[in-house]
Amino acid sequence: MRPAGWSASPPRSFRLPARVRQADLFESSPPLPDGLRYQADFLAMDEEAELLQHIATLPLREARYKQYTARRRTVSFGSGYDFGSNALRPAPPIPDWLLSLRDRVAEWIVQPAQAFAHALVTEYQPGTALGWHRDVPDFCVVVGISLAGWARMRFRPHTPQAASRLDPFALDLAPRSAYVLQGEARWRWQHAVSPTKALRYSITFRTMAAKRPGGKPRLPPEPGGPSEEGSSG
């Protein structure tokens, strides 16, 4: 059951205030929420180039969210998420060329590599955005790698109640950087990607949420555990 005071979707009036702090990751900036980590230069340029060559061969398709077809194009591995039926669906296995990157991601955040059973490759043509969302509860930890262009990822509290205490902020994602969303950053915050200025790709790896008997994802032991949600898959 969802704790009182936490709504499935923010009311219309819940908008990002005009002043958004930029998380510039220097000591003087306010701390990032627990569970959000950012690593510049996670990949070398030749590794990025090799990944982009593989991505160029993928059958990317516009992502579908119920009646809405997004501009961003994606391909899922391991499992995908069908927003029509709100359920996971089978997807081709994670290809070999992504496995060493998955190993590196797993080592970075000290998780077993096999726990990352899902990978999503996403293309953002210039001007492509991703709206506010919290990832579906079927997934747990999210790690994203940025390739080619920059992106600005914005964060706001998941509920209007929390918005009175916590300021929204933005994180600029450099090409070849990595970020992780887990814990508070994963469950108590929403994120969005501003329209990209240049072609960008991301590779996101996700662990699967533990399941309750009956197959529904087990909620994390904190207020605001997953309920509704947006993108991914």
For ligand AKG (CB under 6 A), the number of binding residues is 11
Nearest distance, CB of residue 114 and ligand AKG, angstroms: 21
Name which of 28 and 186 has its Cβ closer to ligand AKG.
Answer: 186
CB 115 within 8 A of CB 106: yes
Task: Mention every residue, 6+ apart, whose C-beta is less than 8 A from residue 166.
Answer: 33, 157
Nearest to 98 by CA among 115, 121, 74, 81: 121
* Pairing verdict, β 169-173 and 21-22: parallel
Task: Mention every residue, 6+ apart, whose C-beta is less than 8 A from residue 133.
Answer: 190, 191, 192, 229, 230, 231, 232
User: Which residue's Cβ lies closest to ligand AKG?
Assistant: 202
Nearest distance, CB of residue 202 and ligand AKG, angstroms: 3
Residues 178-207 that bind ligand AKG (CB under 6 A): 191, 193, 202, 204
Residue 147 backbone dihedrals phi, psi, to 5 degrees: -130, 150
Nearest distance, CB of residue 52 and ligand AKG, angstroms: 15
Among 80, 144, 168, 217, indicate the residue that binds ligand AKG (CB under 6 A): 144
Q: Interface with ligand AKG includes 232 (CB under 6 A)?
A: yes
Using DSSP, state whether 132 is helix, strand or coil: strand
Residues 43-62 that bind ligand AKG (CB under 6 A): none
What is the distance in angstroms between the CA of the first residue and the CA of the last residue of the chain?
Answer: 25
Name which of 156 and 191 has its Cβ closer to ligand AKG.
Answer: 191
Name which of 166 and 193 has its Cβ closer to ligand AKG.
Answer: 193
Which positions lie near ligand AKG, rule CB under 6 A? Answer: 120, 122, 130, 135, 144, 191, 193, 202, 204, 231-232
